């Protein structure tokens, strides 16, 4: 099993550009999550999904959108990138709400 994979690993965006962060899991988990981690800080939940076709907002959803058309994939869309979105983004998945397994992260810089 590859577990949770994320692409790209690194990205630099200009202010106002858009991009999609990809996340795929091969563990047949129903639950998937997107977190951001700012330097020296903990994890903040952006969006989550409890199954294909179902998504919900976390603590910091503004400026982001998600979709969940399959069990395996949970892409995160940034529209009109802003410097405040410079962060490391982690995708995670789990069988239920508890034991979450994380991907390696995408390091995003917006300048």
Partner 1 sequence: GQQLNQSPQSMFIQEGEDVSMNCTSSSIFNTWLWYKQDPGEGPVLLIALYKAGELTSNGRLTAQFGITRKDSFLNISASIPSDVGIYFCASQETSGSRLTFGEGTQLTVNP
Question: Which residue number, 69 or 96, has a Cβ lying nearer to partner 1?
Answer: 96
> What DSSP line would sit under 9-56, residue for residue?
SEEEE-TT--EEEEEEESS--SEEEEEEE-TT--EEEEEEEEETTEEE
CA 66 to chain centre: 8
Q: Which range binds partner 1 by CB under 8 A, 13-21, 61-69, 71-79, 90-98?
A: 90-98
Q: Which range binds partner 1 by CB under 8 A, 20-28, 60-68, 75-83, 96-104?
A: 96-104
Binding site for partner 1 (CB under 8 A): 4, 41-43, 45, 48, 58-59, 90, 92, 96-105
């Amino acid at each position: 099993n590859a577990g949770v994979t994320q692409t790209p690993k690194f990205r630099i965006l200009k202010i106002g550009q858009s991009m999609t962060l990809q996340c795929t899991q091969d563990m047949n988990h129903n639950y998937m999550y997107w977190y951001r981690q700012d330097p020296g800080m903990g994890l903040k939940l952006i969006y989550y999904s409890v199954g294909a076709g179902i998504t919900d907002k976390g603590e910091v959803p503004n400026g982001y959108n998600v979709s969940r058309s399959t069990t395996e994939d949970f892409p995160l869309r940034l529209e009109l990138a802003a410097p405040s979105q410079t962060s490391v983004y982690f995708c995670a998945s789990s069988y239920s709400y508890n034991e979450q397994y994380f991907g390696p992260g995408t390091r995003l810089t917006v300048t």
